[in-house]
Structure 1
Amino acid sequence: MKKFTHFYSLTPEWQYQLAKEMNGELIDDTIIVIPESLGHGHSYFTQITPGISVLFMDFVLKEEVKINRLKSDNELYILHFDLSEHINMITINDINFKIGSYDNLGLAIIDNKIESSFQPAVNERTLALRLLVDKRLLTDFLKNHPSEDYSKRKITVPKNSLYYYDNIDSNSILLIRSLKERSMFEPTFGPYLKGISLKLLGNFLNRYENSKTVENEITELEIEAVTKTRTFLLDNLNNPFPSVTYLSEMAGMSPSKYKMLFKRRFNTSPNNFFIKEKMLLANKLLQSGDYHTLTEVIYELNYTKLSYFTSKYFDFFHKKPSEDFRKKIK
């Protein structure tokens, strides 16, 4: 396994050491090109405002790499959004945290004064965005939402290791996903990335500004129960929605309580979560090139009417499924 070391700052000088260690090309203090010896892809760094910067990563590695981030005197919080459809690893104080949006928690917040490392998966596309935010900008927010409350509210993690660990909200997923098809070398990429980043930070602050007090939060057993139903939904996307009654019985609670806790835990309803994931699967099937007709795809997803499927797909992607369909070549 190759290991590289760097530190973070709000300005681009931190990239020099990392690019040099990995033999990557640094372009205009902004883009690091991954060397062919490691894989292919790029990272893009830019300062948004004097107190906020962003690092966007989109690459595939062909060998194991561990990127160690040294602690520094820069008073920053690192908001890591990971949209990789596989498991990457963040390590803090010898504790491993699985990160990735598909089946795992995709949002981590790390204090820059605590060392950490990032280990991307091999032969998989890593898609991640990091916001570097001056702590002073979040002072009022953090006073009202102390880290002890967060650790009890979501996933319990050891003290002085990880500030916060959660799922990415659906709106933020769509924002980051919109970067996938854009080239980092386009002149408009930088301004577009800055706009996306500010929206992501706004989503994060809005999502938690009205958080409940600890005594009203979900217990660890309740977290396990609703997470179990989420996994069930992900495993059964080819079937119709099973009903809230069925899911609440699986979780061992009343339908009303189940809906409330699912909403609080995942920031969406069970049905909306299922539809969103089903549409994401539909998008993959349409572009897979494994089907001769659209009808075959909708049958695979257990839909009976093309018109109904088309309306759902359009609501989510703002285009018709026929626009994404790649017909199987005989």
Structure 2
Amino acid sequence: MRKLTHYYSLTPEWQLNVAEQLNTKIIDNKLIVIPSHVGDGFFYFSQIMEGISVVYADLVAKEPLKIIRQKSDNELFIFHFDLSEHVNLIKINNVDYEIGSFNQLDLAILDNQIESAFKPAVNERTIALRLLIDKKLLHDFILKFSTSENYFAKSKSNKKAFYHYGNIDSNSILLIQSIKTKSVYDLSFDSFLKGISLKILGNFFNKFYEPKNKNLKLTDVEGQALEKTKNYLANNLYGPFPSLTFLSGMAGMSESKYKSLFKKHFNDTPKNFFIDEKIKLAQKLLKSGEYTTLTAVMYELNYTKLSYFCTKYFEVLKRKPTDDFIKKNAIKKVT
């Protein structure tokens, strides 16, 4: 396994260690292109404003890679947003955590006083954005976390140091996805990345400090994401129910948030909505006169047990399938 060791600072000098270990150069104090024998992709660093910097990684590792961030005297918090469509590993306080958008746990917040290591999956595209933030800008941040929801470890000064592991909000997922469409060599990339980073940070703190009001309205982005998954379900009734993991990933939400918002918005669960629509389609097929047996309709809709199909049919329509079934050979030609 190849190991890269570095520390973080709000200014560009931390990149020197990484470039030397990769035997490559830093372009414009911002860009480190990964050598082809190690992988494809890059690390990009930019100072957004005083007290806030960003590191954006877009890479495919060709060999096992362990990127070790050493703790340092720099008073920082590190917000790690991982939008990889697979599972990576991040080690915090000697514990390996799975992280990535399809794993639904895709946000880690680290105190720079705790060492961490990041292990991207081999031969998979890894997308990660890290915001480096001066602690002076976040003086009341830790105080608002309850110890039951977060974690603390001993730092090198024997003081408690904070880390957190959770979910990216759906708006920020869409923002990070927009970065993927931009070329790092585009002249506008730097300003685009800075703007997106500030929006992501704003989203996080808006959500973090907002009151826990269950009656908050859906955002436009959340509403559009829910409609997208609802339409997907309605257009794929001949197959099995896609998993909540798949649907929530499509919506850019955690499974629990997706299920809760879907129920709130449509007054039904995704699974029940899918079953209801499938049974309504079954009724149309039964009445079509195109099938010779009930089992033919059942198999058409990806059911495997007739008793289960009949039970669901009655639950939804309060009728038996036989009440609506018109056999194909029962339609006589009028002469």
Q: Normalization by structure 1: what TM-score?
A: 0.64
Q: Structure 1 171/16 Cα, relative in aligned 2: closer, same or farther at 3 Å?
A: same
Alignment of 1:1-330 (within 5 A): 1-143=1-143, 145-146=144-145, 148-151=147-150, 157=151, 159-160=153-154, 163-210=163-210, 239=236, 265=257, 269-270=261-262
- The CA distance in 2 between the partners of 1:121 and 1:22, in whole Å, is 18
Q: How many residue pairs end up in the alignment?
A: 233
Q: Tell me, in whole angstroms, the C-alpha distance in 2 between the residues paired with 1:133 and 1:56.
A: 14
- Classify 1:187/1:93 alpha carbon distance in 2 versus 1 (closer, same or farther; 3 Å): same
SS of 1:102's equivalent in the other structure is helix
Q: 1:185 to 1:268 in 2, by over 3 A?
A: farther
Inter-partner Cα distance in structure 2 for 1:2 and 1:70: 16
Q: Distance in 1 between matches of 2:162 and 2:120?
A: 18
In the TM superposition, what whole-angstrom CA distance separates every residue of 1:125-168 from its partner, at most 9, and x where no partner exists? 0001000001111113333x1351532xxxxx564576211111
| Deviations 1:145-197, CA, capped at 9 Å, x for gaps | 1351532xxxxx56457621111111000100001111111110000100000
Any idea what SS the aligned residue of 1:207 has?
helix
Show structure 2 runs of 5+ residues with no match: 155-160, 214-228, 245-253, 271-300, 302-335
Cα shift at 1:266: 6.0
Structure 2 residue identity aligned to 1:203 = N
Give the superposition deviation at 1:268: 6.3
Once the two structures are TM-superposed, the CA of residue 121 in structure 1 deviates from its matched residue by 0.4
CA contact (8 A) 1:147 1:163 kept: no
AA at the equivalent of 1:14: W
1:205 shift after superposition: 0.3
Report the CA distance between 1:263 and its aligned residue. Answer: 9.6
- Taking a change above 3 Å as real, the CA distance of residues 268 and 58 of structure 1, as seen in their structure-2 partners, is farther
Contact 1:147/1:164 (<8 A) preserved: no
Instruction: Output one character per residue of 1:102-125: Cα deviation in whole Å (capped at 9) or x when no partner.
Output: 133001101101101000000000
CA–CA separation in structure 2 for the residues paired with 1:24 and 1:150: 41
Relative to structure 1, is the Cα distance of residues 263 and 4 closer, same or farther in structure 2, using a 3 angstrom cutoff?
A: closer
Query: For residues 267 and 133 of structure 1, what CA distance do their matches in structure 2 show?
Result: 33
SS in 1 for 2:176: helix
SS of the residue aligned with 1:178?
A: helix
Letter in 2 for 1:41: G
* Residue 62 to residue 264, structure 1, CA distance change in 2 (3 Å): closer
Distance between the aligned counterparts of 1:188 and 1:66, measured in 2? 31
What amino acid does structure 1 have at the position aligned with 2:19? A
Alignment partner, residue 220 of structure 1: none
8 Å CA contact 1:183, 1:189 repeated in 2: yes
Equivalent-residue separation in structure 1 for 2:29 and 2:206 (angstroms): 32
Query: Aligned pair in 2 of structure 1 residues 81, 94: CA closer, same or farther (>3 Å)?
Result: same
Partner letter of residue 149 of structure 2?
Y
Go from structure 1 to structure 2 and tell me whether the alpha carbon gap of 1:162 and 1:105 turns closer, same or farther (over 3 Å shift): farther
Mapped partners of 1:162, 1:135: distance in 2 = 12
- 1:255-288 deviation digits (Å, cap 9, x = unpaired): xxxxxxx99856961367999xxxxxxxxxxxxx
3-state secondary structure, aligned to 2:149: helix
In the alignment, residue 101 of structure 1 is paired with which amino acid?
Answer: S
Letter in structure 1 aligned against 2:140: D
Query: Distance between the aligned counterparts of 1:147 and 1:133, measured in 2?
Result: 21
- Paired with 1:35 and 1:177, the residues of 2 have a C-alpha distance of 24
Following superposition, the deviation at residue 40 of structure 1 comes to 0.7
Task: Please give the alpha-carbon distance, in whole angstroms, between the structure 1 residues aligned to 2:24 and 2:260.
Answer: 41
Change (3 A) 1:98 1:164: same
- Secondary structure of the equivalent of 1:72? coil
Q: Which amino acid aligns with 1:66?
A: K
Give me the whole-angstrom Cα distance separating, in 2, the residues matched to 1:121 and 1:190. Answer: 27
Q: CA RMSD in A?
A: 3.3
In structure 2, distance between residues paired with 1:55 and 1:139: 22
CA shift in 2, pair 1:120/1:264, >3 Å: closer
What is the CA-CA distance between 1:50 and the residue it aligns to? 1.1
Q: What amino acid is the match of 1:65? A: L
SS of 1:179 mapped into structure 2 = helix
Specify the structure having the higher radius of gyration (Cα).
2
Cα pair distance change 1:163/1:265, threshold 3 Å: farther
Structure 1 residue 12: Cα displacement: 0.4
Residue deviations 1:21-50 (CA, integer Å, cap 9, x gap): 022331111000000110111111000011
